[in-house]
Amino acid sequence: MPDLASFQRDFAAALMADGQAAPSFRSQAFAVYRNTSARGIVEALRASYPTVDMLVGDEMFTQVAFDYRREHPPLGSVLSDYGRAFPAYLSTQPWTCELPYLADVASLDWLWLESFLAAEAPAMPRNMSGSGRIALHPATRFVWLTSPAMTIWQAHRDPWELTELNPEWVEEGALFTRPEGCIGAELIEADYHALLKACAVPAAVAEIAAQVLVSFPGANLQQLFQRGVASGALILQ
């Protein structure tokens, strides 16, 4: 008779396997449970990547999600944590050459989710001086992409405004913030991205400014700092 650990290991393997299960797991009840579990994982992934779902369609997304599940089974019971590797997985799939921005769009869906689930932090004081340390709000997420994925992402997240889309193929930055509990999504420029990157390690205003000016000597730092404060991306420690 197998011990509990062996049974649990075999049960998990049978749950994730395709085709016929091992003889000890061939009951109709187990088949129903396995199908329900698989569907739950697929729908959790769909909920985390709604823009990808819109771009490829329900049927295609379902198939891709099942394929991803085989290679990346859940490691825990909290499905909101599941799917972190999905953008990287999409970037390796040959069929995505027809949608070269898809992996970047997926990364934006995940950043939105991370921002939504992140911890809170005290609001930033209005008065900033060179003596304070500037940091990112815990809900701030940002990225620089080599495709116009943010333009595509924004258009599909507001389907009522979606018209014929033919974006110029240029690099873009994206910022997600959560002021007052609402997720804000913003297309950002390279100098603003550099400022946010410099704030990843809390530092004095003067130190952050010096880092940004190395790459962007003409940057309007006062405007960029004010923009970060207004959006809720930056806080004072």
How far is 207 from 204, CA to CA, in rounded Å?
5
Q: State both tokens at 29.
A: 């009840």
Evaluate whether 237 touches 133 at the Cβ level (below 8 Å): yes
Query: Residue 97 above 60 pLDDT?
Result: yes
> C-alpha dihedral over 197, 136, 177, 169, to 10 degrees?
0
Residue 79, pLDDT > 80, answer: no
- Which class would CATH give 100-237? alpha beta
How much is the average pLDDT of 34-41?
A: 67
Do 111 and 143 touch, CB atoms closer than 8 A? yes
pLDDT at 32 over 50: no
Question: What is the predicted pLDDT for the residue at 40?
Answer: 81
Please name the residues in contact with 144: beta carbons below 8 A apart, sequence gap of 6 or more. 171, 172, 173, 190, 193
Q: Mapping DSSP to helix (H, G, I), strand (E, B) and coil, where does residue 188 land?
A: strand
Sign of CA dihedral 218, 193, 129, 202: negative
**pLDDT more than 70, % of the chain:** 76
- pLDDT tens for 150-191 read 999 999 987 665 566 788 899 999 999 998 889 999 999 999
Domain ranges of the chain: 1-99, 100-237
